[in-house]
Amino acid sequence: MTNSAVRKLEVTLPFTVKTYDIDFAGIVSNIVYIRWLEDLRLKLLDTYLPLEQQMARGFGPVLGTTHIEYKRPIRLFDRPVGKMWVEKFGRTSWSLHAEFLLDGQGVALAQQSGAFVDYTTMRPTAVPADLRAKFENS
């Protein structure tokens, strides 16, 4: 679903649609995708640089934008799978791409961007060197 041939630091996460995830029409509500994106970001961090370690070092990621393009609805009893990867790092910023699949077919695309922030000053700080190295070597 994306033009990117290389998906650096990619993670995959299956989701279960819950009864509270659907709206009156029986379709997964838009807000659920936001929660699923959060779950994917946390899995990405847990895999490559856990949030707990970042916070102990005095910094962490802050979300700036989210864009979602819905292609097909997801319904109760569907078994969607989410994939997320790092598209690029700037000096302090990050850009992630994600897709949601049903039976291998793309049903939604998402992009998110943000920055790493020093929690003492609440100002942008450099992308952690160890995370950047994992990205560049993947």
Q: Where are the domains of the chain?
A: 10-136
Residues 6+ apart with CB under 8 A from 57: 128
Residue 133 to residue 122: CA distance in whole angstroms: 24
Q: Extract the runs of DSSP E, i.e. beta strands, from the chain.
A: 8-14, 59-70, 81-89, 93-102, 105-118, 123-124
Tokens of residue 8, six digits: 């650096």
- The confidence band for 2, taking pLDDT boundaries of 50, 70 and 90, is very low
Label residue 130 by pLDDT band (50, 70, 90). very high
Q: pLDDT class for 137, splitting at 50, 70, 90?
A: very high
Domain 10-136, CATH number (from 3.10.129.10, 3.30.360.10, 3.40.980.10, 3.40.50.720)? 3.10.129.10
The token pair that represents 117 in the structure block? 């922030």
pLDDT per residue over 23-45, tens digit each? 999 999 999 999 999 999 999 99
The answer on pLDDT for 1 being more than 70 is no
pLDDT of residue 5: 72
pLDDT in tens, 65-103: 999 999 999 999 999 999 999 999 999 999 999 999 999
